[in-house]
Amino acid sequence: MLLSRTARHLTRRARTLSAWAGVPAAPADPIVGLNQTFADDPSTTKVLLGVGAYRDDAGKPYVLPSIREAESRVVNGNPNHEYAAITGDAEFVKLSLEFAYGPDSAPLQEGRVAAAQVLSGTGGLRVCAQLIERLPRLTGSSQKPVCYMPEPTWGNHAKVFQDAGVEVRRYRYLDSNTKTTLDYEGMKEDLLGAEAGSTILLHACAHNPTGVDPSPDQWRDLSAALKKTDLQLFFDCAYQGFASGDAEADAVALRSFVEDGHQILLCQSYAKNFGLYGERVGALSAVCSSTEEKAALESQLKAIIRPMYSSPPIHGARIVKEVLGDATLRAQWTGECKEMANRIQEMRSLLREGLAEAGSTKDWSHITDQIGMFAYTGLSKEQVQKMRDESAVYCTLDGRISVAGLNRDNVAYVAAAIHAVSK
């Protein structure tokens, strides 16, 4: 097509402007952004207790020996690099479901669990959130897609659901007086009052950021109470094995809901328990009422995944499959997972002792009562900022510390820093 002189001139002029001119910078993720602020801090005694990644007693990233062994078996097997199916590696998915639900679980035995391999916990949450968003259209209902999540919850939860077009609402979780214990009655009241047909997000174990879980009795009571509603329960299981050191024990809550007949949604992540953070290995599943329903739901999951990222990565799933599918390696992993959980527990005790030694007379029992990777200290935003400025100890502004970032060399220093801002 021939352009006039004026049109050619205008096109040249327009090209001198950037296509992205006028795009404002988005706010940094509060947890990931903390890493950069920490890296820029010149202090020689600085401590990072932000990101939830396990560190060994020397403060270094840790690759579990069982995972190293599994990986070398995978690599030595000279596997090809073909695409995985849209729903991933079928054997990996099968082993993952048995890992979470238990091999004897009735819905598994009856072949009525729809599932897919996904991109770790976050990827699974995103796909499930999209399913929740589509469900009213798929079923011809006028229901608005709504998900209730605990207050507080993992910082990314609300964003994942909102990006998928799901309205996010909150239910009470942490006691607003103690700020370190569960407000069980408030939680139950809010859940029973939730809008019919909504989804309820529950942390399967080791609640992030608080480290506070319902007791086994409270879980049982909640399951019975929620059975009388038509709410869709959605378990986010990012720490199986990390809470108690025993993956079976950590699955008890979600298994009891399934035994009670709840048709749960579940997301599993292998980031923390297998130390496969960057490999993005996870699974999602939905308990269905029949094999026909399972087939239909799986086809809808494929319809969501295919245009989103087509199929999941294969390397990490092969490693997990190697561990879960080999009794010896699995036993080794179980021991190593327990060691990680034990080290975190020991750091909780040392931190509490350190606070007493530093002269604190406050009650810090919540530090040893809470479980999992994080402790919710109860420090205010101002105290967190002061601790950062005065001692270069970095944690998130809600007062959450990653206990996995503590070690024998820094725990007394951190205790003194916490005491200095909280006395």
Ligand X SMILES: Cc1ncc(COP(=O)(O)O)c(C=O)c1O
Among 116-124, 163-171, 211-219, 290-298, the segment contacting ligand X (CB under 6 A): 116-124
What's the min distance (Å) between Cβ of 120 and ligand X?
A: 3
What's the min distance (Å) between Cβ of 41 and ligand X?
A: 23
Contact status: 282 vs ligand X (CB under 6 A): yes
CA–CA distance from 365 to each of 44, 71, 116, 209 (Å)? Answer: 30, 40, 40, 17
- By C-beta, is 271 or 395 nearer to ligand X? 271
Among 36-44, 117-125, 168-176, 288-296, the segment contacting ligand X (CB under 6 A): 117-125
Active site residue 272: yes
For residue 181, give the nearest of 348, 361, 378, 11 by alpha carbon: 378
What's the min distance (Å) between Cβ of 70 and ligand X?
A: 18
Q: Give how many residues touch ligand X by CB under 6 A.
A: 13
Quote the CA–CA distance of 183 and 97 in Å, as a whole number.
Answer: 31
Contact status: 203 vs ligand X (CB under 6 A): yes
What's the min distance (Å) between Cβ of 205 and ligand X?
A: 10
Contact status: 87 vs ligand X (CB under 6 A): no
Among 50, 52, 245, 354, binds ligand X (CB under 6 A): 52
Q: What is the DSSP string of 257-297?
A: HHHTT---EEEEE-TTTS--GGG--EEEEEE-SSHHHHHHH
Quote the CA–CA distance of 415 and 282 in Å, as a whole number.
Answer: 35
Which residue type occupies 359?
G
Residue 141's Cβ-count burial label (10 Å; 0-12, 13-18, 19+) is exposed
Residue 337's Cβ-count burial label (10 Å; 0-12, 13-18, 19+) is buried
Quote the CA–CA distance of 350 and 235 in Å, as a whole number.
Answer: 32
Contact status: 121 vs ligand X (CB under 6 A): yes
Contact status: 262 vs ligand X (CB under 6 A): no
- The tokens describing 148, both together, are 């209730």
> Look-up: residue for tokens 């006395």?
423
Among 87, 120, 180, 244, binds ligand X (CB under 6 A): 120
CA–CA distance from 417 to each of 297, 346, 358, 377, 394 (Å)? Answer: 51, 19, 9, 12, 10
Active site residue 20: no
Backbone dihedral region for residue 15 (phi beyond 0: left; psi -120 to 50: alpha; all else: beta):
alpha
List 94, 154, 250, 364, catalytic entry: 154
- By C-beta, is 119 or 351 nearer to ligand X? 119
List 272, 294, 333, 364, catalytic entry: 272
Contact status: 117 vs ligand X (CB under 6 A): no
Cβ atoms of 202 and 267 within 8 Å: the answer is: no
Q: What is the DSSP string of 179-238?
A: SSSB-HHHHHHHHHTSPTT-EEEEESSS-TTT-----HHHHHHHHHHHHTS--EEEEEES
Contacts with ligand X in 224-243 (CB under 6 A)? 236, 238
Contact status: 271 vs ligand X (CB under 6 A): yes
Contact status: 391 vs ligand X (CB under 6 A): no
Active site residue 228: no
Among 96, 198, 199, 208, binds ligand X (CB under 6 A): 208
Contact status: 352 vs ligand X (CB under 6 A): no
- By C-beta, is 117 or 208 nearer to ligand X? 208
What's the min distance (Å) between Cβ of 213 and ligand X?
A: 12
Which residue type occupies 188?
K
List 183, 190, 236, 250, catalytic entry: 236
What's the min distance (Å) between Cβ of 236 and ligand X?
A: 5
- By C-beta, is 148 or 277 nearer to ligand X? 277
What's the min distance (Å) between Cβ of 344 and ligand X?
A: 14
Quote the CA–CA distance of 132 and 155 in Å, as a whole number.
Answer: 20
Enzyme catalytic residues = 154, 236, 272
Interface contacts to ligand X, rule CB under 6 A:
52, 120-122, 154, 203, 208, 236, 238, 269, 271, 277, 282
